[in-house]
């Protein structure tokens, strides 16, 4: 079979202005940025009318370290809708360069369900990530300069929480000291770097609903605390305006297309385990006006990305989903049987690819809980069984039996090998499920206390018996509520591999307590971030990263990108 890159290059893309026209976006609102690539200006919304698309969320069961093809299913579903006579628009997050050159590779889908141009999507795109990097580091420079120039705000040098960012995997930058050298080189203090996708500015960009909202959110970012433990904001250090200027073009969503010419809006890239893990609200504002169906994807499983889509993104956007596609695989449910040891960067164990519907059924509890999680938000789930070459029909039948026992509609999906042709059954079932809409409801109200919100997510979504707080975490929660942040929703930071905080607990664990060791305020993006374990915001490179294989050939073409 051809590689993803070869498949992507074999397709002649449609003129991007024609793709925009499919959504009802006239050419004067389209800024072309190269062949097959453009930005949609925010003022396009004024002429696109009211929302008309059914809103489809694609989520999943807890993944293996290899991922279960959720993006590929999302792309394939958007293509499949066209096969059944429906106009779809796809919205996805932009890949980060760190994972692209690390272990994961690109994130444009795969096989015959990809977003093109594939190289541009995975490599810089229109520079939005670099704008986030520049804005983030501009603020960091202004903070250090304020301290150097007399520190009128009395910012505690050890209480600065704002860190610099870079869109690469570089473990050596996690903890650094700045200001070394002569007196003119600044005030020495400990700090560090995160990856750009982990910047609060990335989350702000994704949650903003307009340019004015972006500007206000940037001003609310808390960069640290003064000597009296009062929060100091980006507005206080006079950094919000400059950041808004650097980000004003980055707020416009990027328009690409699938292999079959379906519009694809690729915008923002917050990680789901440390932020809200969804593409931007402004992309969805455009997409929901541009077709019969808007297909969007949330990061990782329903316990992380979908829960945050429901309770963070929908809370901010006011847009309610009509249906949720729950992607699962044979290997994911075998993984959650607890019988197999799967490690990223290593092949699946041979015994895991042997035909065994019993091993699939042993991981059924994971799928059952994910179905329940979607339903408790008032949304109808449709189970998509993503087919892999190592699967067996009897194993697909086992997954189908689980779905049927839970009263959920299911379909086999084959987006990688068959493109749109392998997605028509799923598209039809999603269309039918979406026709009745949803009775969407959020998990908790704004006025609930922060501890009650955390307790609700832990017990109702994760299946925990209780929550246990470190003294530091309780003190932080009390502080945030006293400072007027108690109305904010919760964005839990935890592993994607388990419903719990412990990646080794497979299936749907019971009889456990969720530990909260620290709680962070993310005021600009508009949420509270409890940390349930050690969350690394700057990945490192493995022994054989993808960067070793990516190159330029004698014709000047990129090779080795996946």
DSSP 452-516: HHHHHHIIIII--SEEEE-HHHHHHHHHHHHTT-TTS-B--B--SSSSSS-TT--SS--S-EEEE
319 and 372 fall within a common domain: yes
- Smallest CA-to-CA distance from 547 within 146, 142, 99, 34 is with 99
E-only strand ranges, 211-359: 222-226, 231-233, 254-258, 263-266, 293-297, 323-328
Report yes or no on 440 lying in a domain: no
| Residue 547, in any domain of the structure | no
- Residue whose tokens read 């749907």: 508
Tokens of 393: 């029909």
Length, in residues, of the chain? 562
Residue burial 1-16, b: 16+ Cβ < 10 Å; e: rest: eeebbebbbebebbeb
Are residue 280 and residue 417 in the same domain, yes or no? yes
Residue 540 lies in a domain: no
Residue found by looking up tokens 């490599």 in the block: 123
Burial of 225-252, coded b for 16+ CB within 10 Å and e otherwise, reads beeeeebbbbbbbebbebbbebbeebbb
Query: In Å, what is the CA distance from 177 to each residue of 140, 418, 494, 548?
Result: 13, 52, 28, 30
Is residue 378 exposed (0-12), middle (13-18) or buried (19+ Cβ within 10 Å)? middle
Residues 6+ apart with CB under 8 A from 24: 47, 48, 49, 289, 290
pLDDT of residue 102: 84
Residues 180 and 307 in one domain: no
**Cβ pair 196, 163 in contact under 8 A:** no
State the CATH number of the domain containing residue 316.
3.40.50.300
pTM recorded for the entire structure: 0.94
| pLDDT score recorded for residue 328 | 98
Q: What is the residue whose two structure tokens read 């690109």?
A: 106
* Count of domains observed in the chain: 3
Given 223, 247, 271, the domain boundary residue is: 247
Same domain flag for 190 and 256: no
Domain-embedded: residue 439: no
Angle at 510 between CA 339 and CA 439, to 5 degrees: 110
State whether 269 and 195 are in the same domain.
no
Same domain, 190 and 266: no
Same domain, 421 and 384: yes
Contact 294, 430 (CB under 8 A): no
- We report the CATH number of the domain holding residue 485 as 3.10.410.10
Domain containing residue 14: 4-120+252-342+351-434
Can you give the pLDDT at residue 104?
A: 66
Residues 18 and 92 in one domain: yes
How far from the centroid of its chain's Cα atoms is residue 410's Cα?
Answer: 24
- Indicate the Cα dihedral angle 106, 111, 113, 116, nearest 10°: 50
Residue 445 lies in a domain: no
Q: What is the pLDDT of residue 546?
A: 83
Handedness of CA 115, 119, 123, 127 (dihedral sign): negative
**274 occurs within a structural domain:** yes
Residues 258 and 242 in one domain: no
Nearest to 463 by CA among 366, 330, 533, 378: 366
Q: Can you name the residues that pair with 189 across neighbouring β-strands? A: 178
Domain with residue 134: its CATH number is: 3.30.1510.10
Q: Does 257 lie in the same domain as 242?
A: no
Q: Is there a domain that residue 539 lies in?
A: no
Q: Please classify residue 439 by burial: count the beta carbons closer than 10 Å to its beta carbon, then call 0-12 exposed, 13-18 middle and 19+ buried.
A: exposed
Same domain, 260 and 394: yes
Parts of the chain with a pLDDT under 50: none
**CA–CA separation, 137 and 435 (whole Å):** 46
542 in any annotated domain: no
Same domain as 265, residue 375: yes
Residue (of 483, 464, 399) closest to 222 by Cα position: 483
């Amino acid at each position: 079979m051809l590689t993803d890159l070869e498949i992507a290059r074999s397709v002649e893309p449609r003129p991007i202005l024609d793709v925009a026209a499919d959504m009802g976006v006239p050419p004067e609102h389209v800024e072309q940025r190269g062949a097959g690539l453009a930005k949609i200006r925010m003022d396009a919304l004024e002429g696109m009318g009211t929302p008309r698309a059914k809103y489809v969320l694609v989520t999943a069961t807890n993944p293996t370290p290899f991922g279960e093809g959720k993006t590929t299913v999302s792309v394939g579903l958007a293509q499949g809708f066209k096969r059944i006579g429906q106009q779809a628009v796809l919205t996805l997050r932009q890949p980060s360069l760190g994972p692209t050159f690390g272990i994961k590779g690109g994130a444009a889908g795969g096989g015959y369900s990809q977003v093109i141009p594939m190289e541009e999507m995975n490599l810089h795109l229109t520079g939005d990530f670099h704008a986030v990097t520049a804005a983030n580091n501009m603020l960091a420079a202004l903070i250090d300069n304020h301290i150097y120039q007399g520190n009128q705000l009395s910012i505690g040098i050890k209480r600065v929480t704002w860190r610099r960012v870079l869109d690469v995997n570089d473990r050596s930058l996690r903890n650094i000291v700045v200001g070394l050298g002569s007196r003119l080189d600044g005030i020495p203090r400990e700090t560090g770097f995160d990856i750009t996708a982990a910047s609060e500015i990335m989350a702000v960009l994704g949650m903003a609903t307009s340019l004015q909202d972006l500007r206000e959110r940037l001003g609310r970012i808390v960069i640290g605390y003064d000597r009296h433990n009062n929060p100091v904001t980006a507005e206080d250090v006079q950094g919000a305006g400059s950041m808004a200027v650097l980000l004003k073009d980055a707020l416009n969503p990027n328009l690409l297309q699938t292999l079959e010419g379906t519009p694809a809006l690729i915008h923002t890239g917050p990680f789901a385990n440390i932020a809200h893990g969804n593409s931007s609200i402004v992309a969805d504002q455009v997409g929901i006006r541009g077709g019969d169906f808007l297909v969007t994807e949330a990061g990782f499983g329903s316990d992380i990305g979908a829960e945050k889509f429901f309770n963070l993104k929908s809370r901010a956007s006011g847009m309610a989903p009509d249906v949720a596609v729950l992607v699962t695989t044979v290997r994911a449910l075998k993984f959650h049987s607890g019988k197999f040891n799967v490690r990223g960067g290593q092949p699946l164990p041979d015994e895991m690819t042997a035909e065994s519907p019993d091993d699939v059924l042993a991981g059924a509890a994971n799928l059952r809980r994910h179905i329940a999680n979607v339903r408790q938000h008032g949304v109808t789930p449709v189970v998509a069984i993503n087919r892999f070459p190592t699967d067996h029909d009897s194993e697909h039948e086992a997954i189908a039996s689980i779905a049927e026992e839970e009263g959920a509609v299911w379909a086999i999906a084959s987006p990688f090998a068959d493109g749109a042709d392998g997605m028509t059954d799923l598209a039809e079932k999603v269309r039918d499920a979406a026709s009745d809409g949803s009775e969407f409801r959020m998990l908790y109200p704004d006025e609930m206390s922060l501890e009650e919100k955390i307790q609700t997510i832990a017990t109702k979504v994760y299946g925990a018996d209780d929550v246990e707080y470190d003294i530091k975490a309780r003190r932080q929660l009390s502080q945030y509520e006293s400072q007027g942040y108690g109305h904010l929703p919760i964005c839990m930071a935890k592993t994607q591999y388990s419903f719990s905080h412990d990646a080794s607990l497979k299936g749907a664990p019971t009889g456990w307590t969720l530990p909260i060791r620290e709680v962070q305020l993310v005021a600009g993006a508009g949420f509270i971030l409890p940390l349930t374990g050690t969350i690394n915001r700057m990945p490192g490179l493995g022994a054989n990263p993808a960067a070793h294989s990516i190159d330029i050939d004698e014709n000047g073409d990129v090779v080795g990108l996946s």
